[in-house]
Amino acid sequence: MEGRIRTVQTPAKSRRSQACNQCRVKKIRYRAVECVVTARRRPRPVARQNNEPADLSRSTHKIEDLLQAPAEGNTTPAVNQITPGPNPSPNPSANHPTITKSPTFIYHHPDGQVVQPLADVHPSPAVHDEQNIEDEGSSVYTAEAPNLEYYGPRSILSIFSKPAVAWVMSKVKAPGFSIVALRFVTDVSRTLKINDNNKLPSSRAPEPPPEIAWQYAKAFFEEAPVQLFGIVDRVWFESRLRAHLNNSMPDDPSYYALRNIIWATGSRIVHSKTANSFNETWRTAWAWFENALAVHTEVIFLGSFMTVVQVLILMAYYSDSIGKTSLQYMLCSDAMRLACAKGLHRQPARSWNISPHEVSHRNWMFWSIYCLEKQICSRSGRPSSIDDDEISAIIPERALSGQLNDTIYCHVSIELMRLSSTTKKRLSSAKALRQTPAQLIETVRSLSQELDALKKSLQHIIVLDAPIELSQLPQGTTVRQAQLLQAYYFSLVLDINTPLAYPWSGVRESVEQDMTALAQIEASCNAVANVSRAGILATRQIRVDVSCTALVATYTPTYCFSNLFLHILRDPSTAQSDLVLLDMALGYFSNIEFVTNLEMPFRFVREMCQFARLAVEEMQKAKETIYDMDPSQSTPLSRDNMIDMLASETLDNFSLHEDELFRWLPDDNVESWGTLLPFVDSIDSVL
């Protein structure tokens, strides 16, 4: 090129039948003589009069480098790296993937050290529909080499995404929140994999003595919440266990896994009532869970029976209990896939020749895994394994046990999770995320009405939004069962209303002139605040032990705590009483740390309580600065006075913050004043 680009004159109507990749990415008509993507024949752009030679030369060299990249061993197609503008600076670490604008991408080393994400040194790949990227702005993507974990923009972790952290930091006006958010997301991602040297033990735990085995089996059938669905027939299992202990029947992998997972579940129930430590009880039960996990591949791929479906369901429910490892998402997906492979999602036809009792058993098995699967997908923001339109299995009128309380629990759980599935589809799917603000508001209003109607239809059975009173529960219903139903309800209220309550979503700003829409946004904000308060108050009745589910013990309290924290920053009118509730939540999570001997730390709760108090203090100071001035003695600050104040030597004593400063400026001059002060509370360090 020799520092100069030679122009080529082309006929006005000359076109090629195939455009280059650069043209396809930018979606423009690219006039060139050689518009063919090959390493030997590169595009030769037509020079424009206003272009500077240096810019053209830089662009040409960039295209040359990109086209020559495959020859140098780079297997990434060049089209994925072409972006307009000058060459980006070299990547400081070639081992890290490109950090795109969203979702939030978080790194940490295997040794546990948290690493701030790299700067955006490489531009994001060109996308045909940029709306698809913007829809994921509140999602979170964690990376712990070699593990990657994704959390959708409507999941609980969305409050620790980049836009959320930026908004919180603008309110807190103190450094450090981004580190707190990063550490919390990292800690959550670590629980999704087995971290014991990243491998299962080579030896298996011995089976319990016969008397202990019978004790664990009895506790499972009488007290395990999952058994309310009648997953395993007690008469069949006990006869099989008796034969196994007498060595009168050959063993098989599916029954081996089934009895071990039943022992694991039963042992947690038994030892949670004794003085045994949490960690000791957890390790004892986990050993039998690992026995079942050891034959996971064998039971699925080497001839699976209906027993295998039962095993996977029980393993998924076992993993959903409080603990330092949470494998329920993958186990639940396996269970749902295998259940569908056995046709459990369909109502059996008469031609299948299945007895009515077996039909009822199949249906209850399916709905048990349906409830857990939909709840897990709601928590993680990940897609479900099955669409509700594919389900024809009916909900049996009575539980297999024949107990009324079991029937009530199962029916209420299914109805709440069916609405949760609808909420996930209408608010969190890729299509739903592209709704206009008006459509989103209408969707939230419709779902809120459905939930309200469901709540009213259940009031004669159980009150979901009030403190649990044992005397008012249906006969036979335990406090733990009522807490599960209440946790389902609290989570569902938050799932429906938080899309309008989160201030960084920008929904309120887009409908400022629509009073009806603003009323729905305000109603959603109030619903989020009220249910968050109720969820924190409900922790007073939670007995933390190894048999407690993660939904009741950690997920719902964390969900409520985080949203009340955001409500304090958004509306400080009730800040003092809400701060007391945050302290109450801190006491609850501190109790979990004590019970688990710090195996489950909740440092972020303590830190967020401090951030909430700092934010309230800052807002109170700002309010006193503005409203405590004597109107008869003070005059509004003009722009000239403001400039004099900023230029004076007493700038350090100037008490107004960024938001307050912009409130003083004329509306038509806000943009011109944007670079007046180099505010130190920058969001460049956000996740």
User: What would the pLDDT profile of 386-423 be if each residue is shown by its tens digit?
Assistant: 999 999 999 999 999 999 999 999 999 999 999 999 99
Which amino acid would we find at residue 163?
A: P
User: Rounded CA gap, 346 and 3, in Å?
Assistant: 71
pLDDT for residue 57: 53
pLDDT for residue 359: 95
* Integer CA distances (angstroms), 476 to 115, 268, 408, in order: 51, 21, 10
Nearest residue to 149 (alpha-carbon basis) of 122, 113, 188: 188
Q: What is the mean pLDDT of residues 113-138?
A: 44
Contacts of 558 (CB under 8 A, 6+ apart): 156, 605
Least confident of 191-195, 498-502, 571-575: 191-195
Which amino acid would we find at residue 298?
A: E
Do 435 and 441 touch, CB atoms closer than 8 A?
A: no
pLDDT band at 629 (very low <50, low <70, confident <90, very high): low
pLDDT for residue 198: 57
What are the helix (H) ranges across 27-80?
53-68
Domain ranges (residues) in the chain = 140-198, 200-386
pLDDT for residue 22: 53
Parallel/antiparallel/unpaired status of strands 114-115 and 147-151: unpaired
pLDDT for residue 184: 82
Do 473 and 482 touch, CB atoms closer than 8 A?
A: yes
User: Rounded CA gap, 656 and 210, in Å?
Assistant: 73
Give residue for tokens 């807190």: 172
Q: CA dihedral in degrees (589, 159, 499, 148; nearest 10)?
A: -110
* Integer CA distances (angstroms), 683 to 165, 172, 177, 271, 375, in order: 8, 12, 11, 48, 33
User: What would the pLDDT profile of 547-606 be if each residue is shown by its tens digit?
Assistant: 899 999 999 999 999 999 999 999 888 999 999 999 999 999 999 999 988 888 888 899
Nearest residue to 447 (alpha-carbon basis) of 425, 470, 472: 425
Q: 390: which DSSP letter?
A: G
Above 70 in pLDDT, residue 616?
Answer: yes
pLDDT band at 635 (very low <50, low <70, confident <90, very high): very low
Q: Ranked by mean pLDDT, which of 36-40, 329-333, 672-676 comes out on top? A: 329-333
User: Rounded CA gap, 387 and 639, in Å?
Assistant: 59
Contacts of 648 (CB under 8 A, 6+ apart): none
Do 375 and 488 touch, CB atoms closer than 8 A?
A: yes
Mapping DSSP to helix (H, G, I), strand (E, B) and coil, where does residue 21 land?
A: helix
* Integer CA distances (angstroms), 135 to 167, 214, 241, 427, 432, in order: 17, 53, 53, 11, 9
DSSP 437-497: HHHHHHHHHHHHHHHHHHHHHTTTT--TTS---GGGSPTT--HHHHHHHHHHHHHHHHHHH
Residues 45, 50, 54, CA angle at the centre, nearest 5°? 65
Contacts of 177 (CB under 8 A, 6+ apart): 165, 168, 169, 611
Given strand 140-144, what is the order of strands in its sheet? 114-115, 104-108, 140-144, 147-151
Above 70 in pLDDT, residue 319?
Answer: yes
pLDDT band at 155 (very low <50, low <70, confident <90, very high): confident
Contacts of 598 (CB under 8 A, 6+ apart): none
Least confident of 131-135, 189-193, 338-342, 610-614: 131-135
The proportion of the chain whose per-residue pLDDT surpasses 90, expressed as a percent, equals 43
User: Rounded CA gap, 69 and 80, in Å?
Assistant: 12
Q: What is the mean pLDDT of residues 488-510?
A: 92
Angle between helices 356-380 and 404-427 (to 10 degrees): 40
pLDDT band at 426 (very low <50, low <70, confident <90, very high): very high
- Residue 181 burial by Cβ neighbours in a 10 Å radius (0-12, 13-18, 19+): buried
User: What would the pLDDT profile of 650-671 be if each residue is shown by its tens digit?
Assistant: 434 444 444 443 443 344 332 3
pLDDT band at 196 (very low <50, low <70, confident <90, very high): low
Quick one: how many helices (H) and strands (E) in the chain? 24, 4
User: Rounded CA gap, 149 and 537, in Å?
Assistant: 32
User: Rounded CA gap, 379 and 375, in Å?
Assistant: 6
Q: Ranked by mean pLDDT, which of 113-122, 136-145, 306-315 comes out on top? A: 306-315
User: Rounded CA gap, 174 and 180, in Å?
Assistant: 12
User: Rounded CA gap, 578 and 526, in Å?
Assistant: 13
pLDDT band at 272 (very low <50, low <70, confident <90, very high): confident
Do 67 and 37 touch, CB atoms closer than 8 A?
A: yes
Mean pLDDT taken over the chain: 76
Could you give the count of Cα atoms lying within 13 Å of 677 in the half-sphere of its Cβ? Answer: 19
User: What would the pLDDT profile of 358-395 be if each residue is shown by its tens digit?
Assistant: 999 999 999 999 999 999 999 888 889 999 999 999 99
Could you give the count of Cα atoms lying within 13 Å of 451 in the half-sphere of its Cβ? Answer: 27
Residue 196 burial (CB count, 10 A): 11
Above 80 in pLDDT, residue 436?
Answer: yes
Nearest residue to 452 (alpha-carbon basis) of 404, 523, 380, 501: 523
DSSP 615-665: HHHHHHHHHHHHHSS-TTT--PPPHHHHHHHHHSTTGGG----HHHHHHHS
User: What would the pLDDT profile of 48-88 be if each residue is shown by its tens digit?
Assistant: 444 444 454 555 555 555 545 444 444 433 333 333 334 44
User: Rounded CA gap, 318 and 30, in Å?
Assistant: 59
Above 50 in pLDDT, residue 676?
Answer: no
pTM metric for this prediction: 0.72
User: Rounded CA gap, 288 and 14, in Å?
Assistant: 74
Least confident of 117-121, 321-325, 377-381, 460-464: 117-121
| Residue burial 496-512, b: 16+ Cβ < 10 Å; e: rest | bbbbbbbbbbebbeebe
Which amino acid would we find at residue 415?
A: E
User: Rounded CA gap, 121 and 636, in Å?
Assistant: 45
Parallel/antiparallel/unpaired status of strands 147-151 and 140-144: antiparallel
pLDDT for residue 176: 82
pLDDT for residue 28: 52
